[in-house]
Structure 1
Amino acid sequence: MSRLAESPKREAALRSASAVGWVTLPIGLALVAAPARIGRVLALGDHPAALRAIGALDLALVPGLLVGRHRRPWLVARVALNLGIAAYCAGLVRSERSKGAMVGVAAMVAASVADSRTIADLGDG
């Protein structure tokens, strides 16, 4: 399907995928560059290696989200990553009673729901 013939719903989904990429970029950079500080700010405890890994994975998704020819697989990967992050945060809630991690679970689930809607709107392209 040519760019000119794309539906308004699909065009909005492509813009949403790009927005996700632009949001993911600074988050990934911050987690890679200053994981201990971000962990303190977000009340996630002292887990710099895990936060740095999450940031690196976020950054790996950014090019596909921003300029990938097919955005759908990149968003699917982001949903999978976010659900993994939610599971990690749930573990922190159980082991450390981390309130920041509780917020993280909710944020990752909400982002996954929003991304899933975008995936559906992108269709097969």
Structure 2
Amino acid sequence: MSIDFLPDKPIYQQLIDRITGEIIRGNVKPGEKLPSVREYAVEVGVNANTMQRVYKELEMMGISETKRGQGTFVTDNEARLQQLRDEVKEGLVQSFLTSIEALGFSKKEMIEYIQTRERGEEG
């Protein structure tokens, strides 16, 4: 299952985002073993060196741990995973706010619109 990568963002970063998204959604659980570098590279259609960089970055971020002779595992540090959720949430909100401000929408206007949509009303 090869992935269609965006041309304006490095592939390794897109893969980091994909894996962290899987963790945040709960599709990959704390302490769960990740596929080997080679397996994951073949699965997504990238060079093994790219996957090695992804795993190294995830480890530096404290999201994964490599156990010699066993493989790479998602951290079971719940505090770190909650911090990851908060970081992603903050990034999404910041991106959203930057976008709406650039287009001239006010925060109040957007909050009201979102609340209207949540109630199932037309905006």
TM-score w.r.t. structure 1 length? 0.31
Larger of the two Rg values belongs to structure: 2
Bigger relative contact order, structure 1 or 2, given CA contacts below 8 A and separation 6+? 1
Decide which structure has greater helix share.
1
